[in-house]
Structure 1
Amino acid sequence: MMAGTGKAHLQDQDVLLRVEDLVVEYATGRGKKVHAVSGISFDIARGETLGFVGESGCGKSTTGRAVLQLPAPTSGSVVMNGVDLTTLPKQQMRQARTHIQMIFQDPLSALNPRRRVRDIVREPLSIWRPGDRNSDERVDELLEQVGLDPAVVGGRRPHEFSGGQCQRIGIARALIMEPSLLVCDEPVSALDVSVQAQILNLLEDMKQKHQLSMMFIAHDVAVVKSISDRVAVMYLGKLCEIAPADTITTRAAHPYTKTLLDAVPIADPDVVARRSQTAPAEAPSPIAPPSGCRFRTRCPQAQARCAEEEPVFRKVADRHFVACHYPNVPVPDTSAATENGEGSG
């Protein structure tokens, strides 16, 4: 988070996944390291889709992979169904991953080009449930659910399909083990706009049909809003705002969130002329992030306090939290770091 102490945890819902103080760092040599993710905390409730949005390189995908321990985070905890995944031995972690599946950004490269579609979708069952007599029926059922005819596609290989069809195959493979959580790592960014809508609708249908929770990662604010219940905004390895999807687009509190929204093209030159400018300059290096608020070097509202003090999450409305000293919406005097009005360390 943009904070070292405040956390925007859910207190009134059945939480499936709770991530606490997640840190991911990579050594680069000469004693330096990349601060890819720096102490973020968040929850995903059962049946909820939490969207992650931000510029390329902000740590979204790294966060998603750290949840699956691919690789394991440098520090912090990832608790799913009451079990801290960071403490599990290798074999138990492999078993735990059957309940967390990932959908990748490039659908074609995520599929084995030498294997036929039916074998690709069946492979998780072959590994974890060998001898399952219902595996063929399960494969056919899932292929039909994602909009593919098993009689037509089952014997073909990935290179014979379009990107959208390959992503449907990847979704079927992810669902074969009946997971509780799907980590979707920019699953539509490599697809045409018309196909993006089809895949988003498919994911929403599968969420309802299979009672899934989802962690949805993308750089497109409109895409994230269309599928998410809540949205988490990331910048340079930190979370800066978490709010319901509608609130993010109508009452953004953090200057960086406002910058992302202003960068979305609108087919009206008069409207564009009235919009604020995007953040100046390039983002700082994650090897040497700025002190205090990491967005301060590009923020039009930055003041001396922003360089000296790291902002903590504060509640600005129901289920709406922001880590900013000078947010764009009023902060109640009684605000706290958690949804039940109590601070969280």
Structure 2
Amino acid sequence: MAGSGTAHLRDDEDVLLRVEDLLVEYPARAGLKVQAVAGISFDIRRCETLGFVGESGCGKSTTGRALLQLPSPTAGSVLVDGKDLTRLSPRDMRRERTKLQMIFQDPISSLNPRRRIRESVREPLAIWDRDHGDGLEKVARVLDQVGLDSATVGDRYPSELSGGQCQRIAIARALIMEPALLICDEPVSALDVSVQAQILNLLEDLKEQYGLSMMFIAHDLAVVKNISDRVAVMYLGKLCEIADANAIVKRPAHPYTRELISAVPVPDATIRRRSEEKAPAEVPSPLNPPSGCRFRTRCSRAEAVCAVEEPQFQKVDDGHFVACHFPLRGMPMVRTTTEAVGV
């Protein structure tokens, strides 16, 4: 697997975010280092949702935080409207963060338990936008846009509200400064299924209303497929496939993507789905990742070259790129499998 250097959108595309060779390392025991994100590259267009999917611990959330310089990446560049955030001073980066907002996984713990809801949503305005006076009118408007009544919830504390209500409040707080890019870090994984659908529909509506670009991080391929325009598949710190959401589900080109799709439950025990040989469940240690292709130790298609040469992205169709020496070709998933992820 490799960074997506050859999978960038064309220069004439309306690109809001361009990430080049993003590397995030953390110190570990015995002087070792963990490459949580290992030199990945990707783009996000204006008004586009790019979904990130992969197993827990593959580096999805670390990537989202690195875009916001929380903390700054070890190496690489993060360009927003052509401005490299990694080269900004702390003061300038603080100002740029008004254009980039994040919604976190746990909606209740992401809110200050000692602050009333109205105060939490208003805080960005109080810090950055003095022209709005006390900002209460805009707070009421943005709460209404996420389906909450300011008069009803404004004086409450997070502990008095449900998880779904708290996630709507977190979304309102992220939108109050009208950002260009919204990074959603598994925003529905802690919610009931019925509430998940409400939040996903809300994000879709707000995307159209605000002209937002979104990076949507999740481990659930069905959720990612249904909200994303394009999907990036991540494994052990590397990107392995990027394509339109429908294409990546109907015709996955990487064996790992195919295994992710095959793992989606189908509510019929009599159905046998065509798939590659089942991959071993144990993921290699990020302290000592496999040489060459990082997925090779779990891949039934691996050959000698996979151990010595890291695969580079290659184009398999319009807008469809895969980092694999032996990509799947002409092997569509059967209908019962794609139905499981909403095709």
TM-score (ref. length: structure 2):
0.94
Task: Mark the CA change 1:291 to 1:276 in structure 2 (over 3 Å): closer, same or farther.
Answer: closer
Match of 1:306 in 2: 306
What is the distance in 2 between the residues matched to 1:145 and 1:278? 45
Q: Is the 8 A contact 2:279 2:299 kept in 1?
A: yes
What is the distance in 2 between the residues matched to 1:13 and 1:136? 38
1:30 shift after superposition? 1.8
Q: Is the 8 A contact 1:35 1:287 kept in 2?
A: yes
Amino acid at match of 1:13: E
Match of 2:115 in 1: 115
5+ residue gaps, structure 1: 331-345
Please say if 1:72 is aligned against 2:72.
Answer: yes
Alignment root-mean-square deviation, CA? 1.4
Between the two proteins, the alignment pairs up a number of residues equal to 330
Task: Mark the CA change 1:4 to 1:170 in structure 2 (over 3 Å): closer, same or farther.
Answer: closer
Match of 1:62 in 2: 62
Partner deviation per Cα, 1:92-144 (whole Å, 9 max, x = no partner): 00000000000000000000000000000000001112362261111000000
Partner SS state of residue 77, structure 2: strand
Please say if 1:3 is aligned against 2:2.
Answer: yes
Partner deviation per Cα, 1:13-36 (whole Å, 9 max, x = no partner): 100000000000001132201110
What is the distance in 1 between the residues matched to 2:70 and 2:53? 20
What is the distance in 1 between the residues matched to 2:221 and 2:131? 44
Match of 1:255 in 2: 255
5+ residue gaps, structure 2: 331-343
What is the distance in 1 between the residues matched to 2:292 and 2:89? 37
Amino acid at match of 2:86: T
1:278 shift after superposition? 3.9
Partner SS state of residue 223, structure 2: helix
What is the distance in 2 between the residues matched to 1:290 and 1:273? 29
What is the distance in 2 between the residues matched to 1:272 and 1:198? 32
Partner SS state of residue 91, structure 2: helix
TM-score (ref. length: structure 1):
0.93
- Which deviates the most, 27-36 or 42-51? 27-36
Match of 2:336 in 1: none
Please say if 1:14 is aligned against 2:14.
Answer: yes
What is the distance in 1 between the residues matched to 2:153 and 2:211? 26
Partner SS state of residue 301, structure 1: coil
What is the distance in 2 between the residues matched to 1:196 and 1:329? 34
Please say if 1:296 is aligned against 2:296.
Answer: yes
Partner SS state of residue 30, structure 1: helix
Please say if 1:125 is aligned against 2:125.
Answer: yes
1:275 shift after superposition? 4.9
Amino acid at match of 1:284: P
Amino acid at match of 1:231: V
